[in-house]
A and B are shown apart, each in its own frame.
Chain A
Amino acid sequence: MTVTSANPEILSELDRPNSYIGKVVPRPNLERLMQGRGLYVSDMELPRMAHVVFLRSPHAHAKIVGIDATEARRLPGVIAVVDRPGACSGYYALGRRTLAFEGPQIGAAARDCD
Chain B
Amino acid sequence: VTAPVPISLEVNGERVDAHVLPRLNLADFLREHLELTGTHVGCEHGVCGACTVRVNGDIIRSCLMLAVQAHGASVQTIEGLSDSGEVADLQAAFRDRNALQCGYCTPGMLMAAQDLLMQQAEPGREQIREHLSGNYCRCTGYQAVVDAVETTARRRAGRQT
Contacts and interface: CB of A to CB of B under 8 A. Distances in A.
A40 to B, nearest CB: 7
A36 B41 contact: no
Interface stretch (A10-18, A25-33, A93-101): A25-33
Interface string A29-45: 11101111111101100
Interface string B92-107: 0011001010111011
B38 A37 contact: yes
* Interface residues of chain B: helix, strand, loop or mixed (majority): loop
A40 B100 CA distance: 15
A36 B95 contact: no
Nearest to B108: A36
Contacts of A36: 36-40, 77-79, 82, 107
B41 A42 contact: yes
Interface of B: 31, 36-41, 77-79, 82, 91, 94-95, 98, 100, 102-104, 106-107, 110
Interface of A: 27, 29-31, 33-40, 42-43
